[in-house]
């Protein structure tokens, strides 16, 4: 509930920075409109990890897609086999 895990592809650091800045502004505007408030939504910057091999990409994708399942298990809940998180894509 407090963070987002995303895999982002960019041509370079400048493009990534501008893309993330635009993303954060768009999300903040939307959440503030829903909550009827103003002000910053994100308190911290993003963390970058460059994926250099196909294996790293595969592991990262599995981590992001199965993140809900992992958090559910930590909370003592079991997610049925074959269940797909509708909020991950």
Mean pLDDT of 66-78: 86
- The DSSP letter of residue 44 is S
pTM here is: 0.69
Contact between residue 82 and residue 66 where contact means Cβ atoms under 8 Å apart: no
Query: How far apart, in whole angstroms, are the C-alpha atoms of residue 41 and residue 4?
Result: 13
Q: pLDDT, tens digit, for every residue of 11-55?
A: 999 999 999 999 999 999 999 999 999 988 888 777 889 999 999
Query: How far apart, in whole angstroms, are the C-alpha atoms of residue 12 and residue 58?
Result: 21
The pLDDT assigned to 35 comes to: 95
């Amino acid at each position: 509930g407090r963070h987002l895990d995303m895999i982002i592809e960019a041509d370079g650091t400048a493009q990534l920075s501008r893309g993330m800045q635009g993303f954060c502004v768009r999300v903040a505007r939307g959440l503030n409109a829903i909550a009827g408030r103003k002000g910053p939504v994100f308190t911290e910057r993003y963390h970058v990890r460059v994926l250099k091999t196909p294996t790293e990409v595969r592991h990262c994708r599995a981590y992001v897609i199965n993140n809900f399942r992992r958090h559910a298990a930590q909370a003592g809940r079991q997610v049925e086999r074959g269940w797909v998180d509708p909020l991950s894509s």
